[in-house]
């Protein structure tokens, strides 16, 4: 019988350090409270909100609001669980380190490497998206050149110090927040007919119920909409990884966890409500131009497309910056726990896990190459096989919290400063909802849902087998040493 995991096991919290023999001094508290606040706010605003919302609107009509509300509720509950564990023990490994203690090394190994895999693929997706926009502005530089430039610049930023990452992300996220806030205010005024100088004949709350009703394609479209929007929420957990390098980790985690509700309500539900109120959901311009560009165009705002391209580019750069940071810190944590080469846990004198960053970005470059050379074969496999990782992560967080609550209560009850609501019932209900979404994806052939789940399960199974074999090998070695 295995022993009960304890809070004192690896995943050290604010003072995370690498291998005892490293040349650095471990991760350092280089993130200021203003950095963490903006990382937490910006983390829920991904480029997917601007780019992918038009397909969701076309699928579910105004009912896409319910899809966003369902997924938003799911994210709020998962973040509450993660906040409970991370406030008690802030660490750069976040949910992977918690799973390691709560469920066993196999769980921390598996979900940590899957999460790392997810983000290095995202690096390629975002670098390509950003390169397309930049090439449109300056065509003299080829698209692959822009992808290379963007990746190199943000790699250099992450290599300098965690403070430079935080500063870049502060401004990237700040631009996103200001832009979407302005969009909601301007669009809201137009919906109610009080925006000076604008007389939009299409705007009005009547768009929510006319043109086929609130659910023009029936209630089932809400679930299909869930499948289309669920992945745009990935990134909410970044604040809990970054907390380990902040001035006050517990405060940072508590604040970001408590503010998740209004962040999702304002930025997701608020902005989508404005979009579907400014234009009929079936307006051709939404599909042709994108939902936010079409909404701005309907108000007669000049250069709406270029304005939105700038905002999307900012979101892409923010996602790239955070993706590289997140992948490297997860690799660092895996190295710390012996689940990755020890070199991953070494830091420079500035507290930067240089090897973990470079390895992550190298794999990101490889993925970018596949995107240009084999977009419909190798890269499509990478994209689909990492697509359901977000849901796997959320499911592991649920099961980790069920056990970690008991461990925290037994060993350090004073650290339980953030509590999951209605524990354990709401935790089980959240896990059931995630399993239901995964099951529903298996029935979705129109949007590649089935292929995404099956390929993601295949990759997860391979990683899990490696984790179990590794654990058995280590156990065998330990028994051999004990016999000697």
Tens of pLDDT, residues 442-451:
988 887 788 9
pLDDT at 13: 41
Does residue 20 carry a pLDDT above 50?
no
On whether the CB atoms of residues 441 and 227 are closer than 8 A, the answer is yes
**300 pLDDT higher than 70:** yes
pLDDT band with cut points at 50, 70 and 90 for residue 82: very high
Token pair belonging to 451: 């292929």
Give the span between the Cα atoms of 269 and 263, in whole angstroms.
Answer: 9
Mean pLDDT on 456-461: 94
Is the alpha carbon torsion for 63, 64, 65, 70 positive or negative? positive
Q: According to the model, what pLDDT value does residue 242 have?
A: 81
Q: What is the mean pLDDT of residues 190-217?
A: 85
pLDDT in tens, 367-402: 888 888 888 888 888 888 888 898 999 999 999 999
Proportion of the chain above pLDDT 70, given as a percent: 93
> Does residue 1 have a pLDDT over 70?
no
| CA atoms of 379 and 362, how far apart (whole Å) | 15
Neighbours of 21 (CB within 10 A): 8
Closest CA to 5 of 104, 149, 82: 104
Check residue 5 and give its pLDDT. 38
Output the pLDDT for position 399.
97
Which three-class secondary structure state does DSSP give residue 246? strand
Q: What is the C-alpha separation between 344 and 358, in angstroms, rounded? A: 10
Q: What are 274's two structure tokens?
A: 């404005």
Structure tokens at 213: 């009703």
Rounded mean pLDDT of the chain? 86
Q: According to the model, what pLDDT value does residue 308 have?
A: 84
User: Rounded distance, CA 161 to CA 325, Å?
Assistant: 11
SS3 content of the chain, % helix, strand, coil (to 5): 75, 0, 25
Average confidence (pLDDT) over 473-484: 81
Calculate the CA dihedral of residues 161, 166, 169, 175 and round it to 10 degrees. -130
Reported as a single tens digit per residue, the pLDDT across 22-43 is 445 477 777 877 787 777 777 6
Average pLDDT over residues 199-221: 87
Residue 358: CB atoms within 10 A of its CB come to 16
Q: Whose CA is closest to 202, among 66, 294, 287, 293? A: 294
Q: What is the structure's pLDDT at 199?
A: 63
- pLDDT score of 356 more than 90: yes
């Amino acid at each position: 019988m295995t022993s009960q995991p304890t809070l004192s096991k690896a995943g050290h919290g604010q003072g995370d350090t690498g291998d005892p023999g490293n040349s650095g001094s471990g991760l350092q508290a280089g993130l200021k409270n203003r950095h963490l606040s903006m990382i937490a706010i910006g983390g829920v605003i991904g480029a997917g909100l601007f780019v992918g919302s038009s397909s969701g609107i076309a699928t579910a009509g105004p009912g896409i609001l319910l899809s966003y509300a369902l997924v938003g509720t799911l994210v709020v509950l998962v973040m509450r669980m993660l906040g409970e564990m991370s406030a008690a023990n802030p660490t750069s490994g976040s949910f992977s380190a918690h799973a390691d203690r709560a469920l066993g090394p196999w769980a921390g190994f598996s979900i940590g490497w899957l999460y790392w895999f997810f983000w290095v693929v995202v690096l390629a997706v975002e670098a390509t998206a950003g390169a397309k926009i930049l090439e449109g502005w300056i065509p003299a530089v080829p698209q692959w050149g822009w992808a290379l430039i963007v990746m190199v610049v943000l790699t250099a930023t992450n290599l300098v110090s965690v403070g430079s990452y935080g500063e870049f992300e502060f401004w990237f996220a700040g631009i996103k927040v200001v832009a979407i806030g302005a969009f909601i205010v301007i669009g809201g005024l137009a919906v109610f007919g009080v925006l000076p100088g604008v007389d939009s004949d299409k705007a009005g709350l009547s768009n929510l119920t006319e043109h086929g009703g609130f659910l023009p394609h029936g209630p089932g479209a809400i679930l299909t909409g869930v499948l289309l929007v669920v992945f745009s929420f990935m990134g909410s957990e970044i604040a809990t990884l970054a907390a380990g390098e902040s001035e006050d980790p517990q405060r940072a985690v508590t604040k970001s966890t408590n503010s998740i509700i209004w962040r999702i309500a304002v930025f997701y539900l608020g902005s989508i409500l404005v979009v579907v109120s400014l234009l009929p959901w079936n307006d051709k311009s939404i599909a042709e131009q994108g939902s936010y560009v079409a909404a701005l165009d309907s108000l007669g705002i000049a250069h709406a497309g270029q304005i939105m391209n700038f905002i999307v580019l900012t979101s892409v750069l923010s996602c790239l910056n955070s993706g590289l940071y997140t992948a490297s810190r997860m690799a660092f944590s895996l190295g710390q726990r012996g689940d990755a080469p020890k070199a991953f846990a070494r830091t420079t004198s500035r507290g930067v896990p240089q090897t973990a960053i470079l390895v992550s970005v190298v794999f990101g470059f490889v993925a970018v190459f596949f995107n240009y050379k084999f977009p419909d074969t190798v890269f499509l496999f990478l994209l689909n096989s990492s697509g359901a990782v977000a849901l796997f992560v959320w499911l592991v967080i649920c099961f980790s919290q069920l056990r970690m609550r008991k461990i925290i209560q037994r060993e350090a009850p004073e650290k339980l400063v953030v509590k999951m609501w209605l524990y354990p019932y709401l935790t089980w209900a959240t896990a059931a909802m995630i399993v239901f979404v995964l099951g529903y994806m298996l029935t979705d052939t129109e949007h590649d849902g089935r292929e995404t789940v099956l390929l993601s399960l295949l990759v997860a199974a391979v990683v899990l087998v490696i984790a179990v074999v590794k654990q058995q090998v280590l156990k065998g070695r330990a028994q051999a040493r004990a016999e000697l």
